[in-house]
Chain A
Amino acid sequence: MAGIKFAAPASDPNEYKNVFVFLETREDQLMRPALEMIGVGKRMAEKVNEKLVCILLGGDIKDQAKEAVSYGCDIVLGAESPILSTYRTLPYSHIIADFVREEKPNIFLIPATRNGRDLASRIAVSCQAGVTADCTELDIEQDTRILSANRPTYGESMLAEILCKRHRPQMATARPGIFPVPEKIKSHKGEIRIKEVTVDKSMLRKEVLEFRKKEVVDLTAAKVVVSGGMGLGKPQGFSLIGDLATELDGVVGATRPAVDMGWITRDHQVGQTGQTVRPRLYLAVGISGKIQHIMGMKNSETIVSINTDPNAEITKYSDYVITEDLYKAVPVLLDEIRKLKRSPPTPVQETGSAPAQ
């Protein structure tokens, strides 16, 4: 199947139809990025009157297939085998590449999660397809059915629009946390085709010895995120951040160096290589505002930063800037929020001022 072969264009691109998405699972449960793929895939399929086809692999996936249908999937192509409940590169990439060769999708989307990226380029090479990585905007041109795959580049300062005109399928990985999870449609009908598969031993030489699950803070769904950076100066700083987050009913975020220092676990990381958040309120505490961090939080509704350096880059991304030592400012903030809670101002003009969610 593999071998050194160049990317031959599709002999007839019109043979390729429908929008396919890969549904990533963990222990057979659909992950949030899987639902995000259904949302963006459905929108494109409807635009050109085609079907949304979801690829689902696992040990026991019948309920998950129904769930995918309820979110808008028209056809579920499933492969079931007990050994597929854990992701492994070779069996997954071989089974999915076979689906692609048989079914000839026009578009194939995979979440740009770690396992999604592990998988996507193997399939692209195997199927001689073009793939655009880590897209933040996706659209399909109605007349040509060409995928417009847009991805940030040059340190997030530019958006590149990338096309794949002659090769099929047109593949893309889509950044998690960008595309909204669609509403469930109770009445939606779909076709479920699950086949049982046997996987060749040669593909199972990789053993997964263990999976140490982390308590995952889903930052992407949080309404308030309080993030700490290197300005905290010490690991204990995160207990202060934690207090503020608790008081605001939010979650704790962090910059990558703070994670690398071991001050907090990686699942709190916001940014290019962490999670992308868009809360109602984002508090950046002791964070310089390097672009790799900014790209994970810039779409927050209101941004408040605390930084001793008035010229820190975070300033231009902030609605409010507190130019003070965080160890002075955060206790005052905590105090004021507690005061507010004890004696909330009488709601005078509550109507009409509700913020957009």
Chain B
Amino acid sequence: MIRVSGLTKEYGIRRAIDNITFEAEQGEIVGFLGPNGAGKTTTMRILSGYMPPTEGEATVAGFDIVSESIEVRRRVGYLPETVPLYSDMTVFDYLKFMADLRHLPNAEERVDDALEMVGMEERADGYIGKLSKGMRQRIGLAQALLHRPEVLILDEPTIGLDPGQVVEVRNVIREIGRERTVLLSTHILSEAQQLCDRVLIINKGRIVAEDTPENLQASLVGAERGVLRVRGEIDGLIETISKIKGISNVQPKEDDVLEFQFAPGQDVRAEVARATVKAGYDLLEMRPIGMSLEDIFLQLTREESAETES
């Protein structure tokens, strides 16, 4: 559905993206993960037909993004990062306008459907200028869904939403991703983990890693970490926990908190809990610590610079 090969974009002398190559199939949700300024938005803008690349080729839904730009734009639903909306229009008028530009038959029905998908039916007659950030985000998403596009390109779709809305929007995306192609960008690892079939990590305009979220995490994380909190002082427990098979590197973090490492895929929680209670402590909390995007990121970029040095 999306085929990108050797895509490069230069702004003056600055290279925003450098020789990016990837593919995304129908029924797949692909996530772009990376820090600000990594080139996520530039790549998405090129694929949505907003601007041509300096070098390289890409096809979306079988059409070339430069020579058949209009055909590409007909088939893509795009939510830009800044969520531009006409604040002087009502929600309904705005979506009707966008539907008319796409020559949709029964445009009003489509608008109602899209509003329902993002849970904004009740605000149809309100002015866009009066909406909160989260609502604007949802209207932007409704706009991208209007024509039931084959390919959905979403630049930071859940940014600015409250937790309840984040869950709703993710459900909408997951629903669409079943039959269509979704390319979304995020800098939240847990979001990529929950939503994406595949993740592309992008840094300084290059793709530095590409895999399923699980594999990425597993390959990068040598050991998993867990946190244990009990009532009272924890010092006496350190030795007991250290003795459990598979656990290493037990460190006290606070008076009542300790952190331990264990091999990935090995569930030690039951044993830790038993040992804690057996030693006469009240177990208050135990949870795994996932690796954050920042950790993964630092590790990847460190590996990359090590490679170039050797």
Q: Are A and B interaction partners?
A: no
Residues of A within 8 A of B (CB): none
